[in-house]
Amino acid sequence: MGILLIHHLEQMFRKYELTARDGAELSQYYERENGVYMKSKFFETKKVNDYITQIIGLAGEQCYLIEGKKRALLFDGLSGEGSLKSFVRELTDLPVQIVLSHAHPDHCGAIFEYGECYMHPDDIELLYSDFVSGRKERWNFVTAVPEWAPPLRTETRLEDITERCAVKTYPVYDGDVFDLGDVQMEVIGVPGHTRGTIVLLDRTARLLLSGDAINPNTLMALPGSATIEEYKESVLHLKTFQTAFDLLYGGHGPEPVPARIVDDALMLIDKILDRTDEAIEEYDHLGNRMVLRAASVGSDFFPLYGGISHIVFYVDTQFGKRGKVIIRTAPVNSPVKAIGNPHV
Ligand SMILES: [Zn+2]
C-alpha cells in the first residue's frame, strides 16, 4: 500500500512498457501471447514455473495461482477490480481454494466472489475494517496512480469493485501444508506487516510466495502492523527456512528477490532497535502520521546502502510486544491439513 504502490507501479510500467497496447487492442477481452501469459482488461499473467502463475491486477498488485494435480490454490485475491474468479476460471479447470497472505485491501478482493477463504485468524478483525474491505477504499487503492505514471490499462469504475460481504474463513497457521496433489505448499507465519501475515514455501521449486511479508520496501506502519521487536521474531523464524528457497515472489514488484533479503532485514531490524538506522521522517498520507524510513532509498525505492531490505515504521511501534504468542502453529486437527482430502 501507499509508498509501495508508487514503487511497484513504477516498476510495473517500466517492465511492461514494451508490451503496452493501444486502446483498441487493450479492449480485447482476452489475449494470449506465445502461450506464456493471458491478459484481460483487469488482469495479466506471467508464468513463474509450469504450475505457478503470477496474476497482476490493474494497480500492479500480484497474486499467485498454484495448480496441482487435484486442486488449485489462489494465494491472495488482489483489490477486487474486475472478476478475478472468472479470470482464474479461464486459467484452470481445477477446483480452486483461496488463501490470503494477509488482510489488506490489495490482497482480499476476490474472497468476496469465492465466499470463503483460508487466512490466519489474527487478521480477521482487520479484514472487516473499512480500510481493508470497504469497496470505496479498495477502489481508492486502484485509482491512486501517481501523476507521473502512465494511465491504467482501462478506466476504473466503482461498480467493477467486488462488493464486500461476509466470508466463511478457515484458519491457517504456521506449519500447515496445502496438499494440491503433487504440489505441497507449506505455510510459514511471518507476522509483521500485519499480525496475521503468512507466506507459502514451495520446497520443490525452492521459492517463497511472500505477499508483503518481506520485500525491498516492507511497510510496518499500516493498520494491523506488529511492532519491530515482534517482526524480528518472525524474520528469525523465517530464517530457519532460508536454506529451502532461493527466491521470493511478493505481492508487488515484477521481479523476485533473492533469499539474502532475510539477512538484510535482520541487519536493518537490529539497527532500528538500536536506533542506529537513518530514521528519515516522512509523512504517511494513509494514516496521517509521521513514519520513519530506516534507510535512504533511490528513485526506484530500493535502499541505497547496498542491501535489498528496507523497512518503514512508526516510532511508537519500534519496541514492545503485546503479550501474545505471535507465531501460532497449526493444531493437530487443523482443517488445512485435511485440504488434501476435503471430504474426510
Ligand atoms: Zn499489505
Helix, strand, or coil (residue 107): coil
Measured in Å, residue 31 CA sits from the centre of ligand 1 at 29
Q: How far apart are CA 216 and CA 63, in angstroms?
A: 17
pLDDT at 34: 39
Lowest mean pLDDT among 107-116, 181-190, 206-215, 295-304: 295-304
pLDDT at 147: 61
φ/ψ of 236, rounded to 5, equals -65, -40
Percent over 90 (pLDDT), the chain: 63
Q: Please determine, for residue 12, whether its predicted confidence score (pLDDT) is greater than 80.
A: no
Measured in Å, residue 1 CA sits from the centre of ligand 1 at 6
Question: What is the pLDDT averaged over residues 320-331?
Answer: 59
pLDDT at 223: 85
pLDDT at 23: 34
Measured in Å, residue 222 CA sits from the centre of ligand 1 at 8
Measured in Å, residue 28 CA sits from the centre of ligand 1 at 31
Measured in Å, residue 4 CA sits from the centre of ligand 1 at 9
Q: Please determine, for residue 235, whether its predicted confidence score (pLDDT) is greater than 90.
A: yes
Q: How far apart are CA 40 and CA 57, in angstroms?
A: 10
Identify the band that residue 342 occupies on the pLDDT scale cut at 50, 70 and 90: very low
Identify the band that residue 255 occupies on the pLDDT scale cut at 50, 70 and 90: confident
Measured in Å, residue 51 CA sits from the centre of ligand 1 at 25
pLDDT at 331: 61
Measured in Å, residue 195 CA sits from the centre of ligand 1 at 11
Measured in Å, residue 154 CA sits from the centre of ligand 1 at 24
Question: Of 210, 146, 212, 161, which Cα lies nearest the Cα of 13?
Answer: 146
Residue 74 belongs to what H/E stretch? strand 72-75
CA angle 325, 327, 336 (to 5 degrees): 125
pLDDT at 38: 79
DSSP state of 308: S
Question: Of 64, 48, 328, 33, which Cα lies nearest the Cα of 173?
Answer: 328
Helix, strand, or coil (residue 182): coil
Q: Give the pLDDT confidence of 153-200 residue by residue, as tens digits.
A: 788 899 999 999 999 999 999 999 999 999 999 999 999 999 999 999
Measured in Å, residue 149 CA sits from the centre of ligand 1 at 21
φ/ψ of 185, rounded to 5, equals -115, 120
What's the distance, CA 250 to chain centroid?
A: 6
Question: What is the pLDDT averaged over residues 255-260?
Answer: 93
Q: How far apart are CA 101 and CA 123, in angstroms?
A: 10
Identify the band that residue 332 occupies on the pLDDT scale cut at 50, 70 and 90: low
Measured in Å, residue 106 CA sits from the centre of ligand 1 at 7
pLDDT at 127: 96
- List CB contacts of 54: < 8 A, sequence separation 6 or more: 45, 46, 47, 48, 62, 63, 64, 249
Identify the band that residue 5 occupies on the pLDDT scale cut at 50, 70 and 90: very low
Q: Give the pLDDT confidence of 74-121 residue by residue, as tens digits.
A: 999 999 999 999 999 999 999 999 999 999 999 999 999 999 999 999
pLDDT at 333: 59
* pTM given for the model: 0.85
Identify the band that residue 300 occupies on the pLDDT scale cut at 50, 70 and 90: confident
Measured in Å, residue 109 CA sits from the centre of ligand 1 at 13
What's the distance, CA 255 to chain centroid?
A: 14
User: Is the CA virtual torsion 97, 99, 103, 109 positive or negative?
Assistant: negative
Q: How far apart are CA 233 and CA 12, in angstroms?
A: 32
Q: Please determine, for residue 54, whether its predicted confidence score (pLDDT) is greater than 80.
A: yes
| Average pLDDT in the chain | 83
Measured in Å, residue 252 CA sits from the centre of ligand 1 at 9
State the cell numbers at 160: 467493477
Asked whether 257 and 239 are in contact (CB, 8 A), the reply is no
Measured in Å, residue 212 CA sits from the centre of ligand 1 at 5
Task: Give the best-scoring range by mean pLDDT among 43-52, 258-267, 303-312.
Answer: 258-267
Domain spanning 3-339: CATH superfamily: Ribonuclease Z/Hydroxyacylglutathione hydrolase-like (3.60.15.10)
Identify the band that residue 33 occupies on the pLDDT scale cut at 50, 70 and 90: very low
Q: How far apart are CA 105 and CA 78, in angstroms?
A: 8
- Helix H segments across the chain? 3-16, 23-26, 84-91, 111-114, 124-127, 130-133, 135-143, 228-239, 261-274
Helix, strand, or coil (residue 283): strand
Q: Please determine, for residue 285, whether its predicted confidence score (pLDDT) is greater than 70.
A: no
Helix, strand, or coil (residue 291): strand
Measured in Å, residue 23 CA sits from the centre of ligand 1 at 31
Measured in Å, residue 124 CA sits from the centre of ligand 1 at 14
- Written as one letter, the residue type at 130 is D
Q: Please determine, for residue 146, whether its predicted confidence score (pLDDT) is greater than 80.
A: no
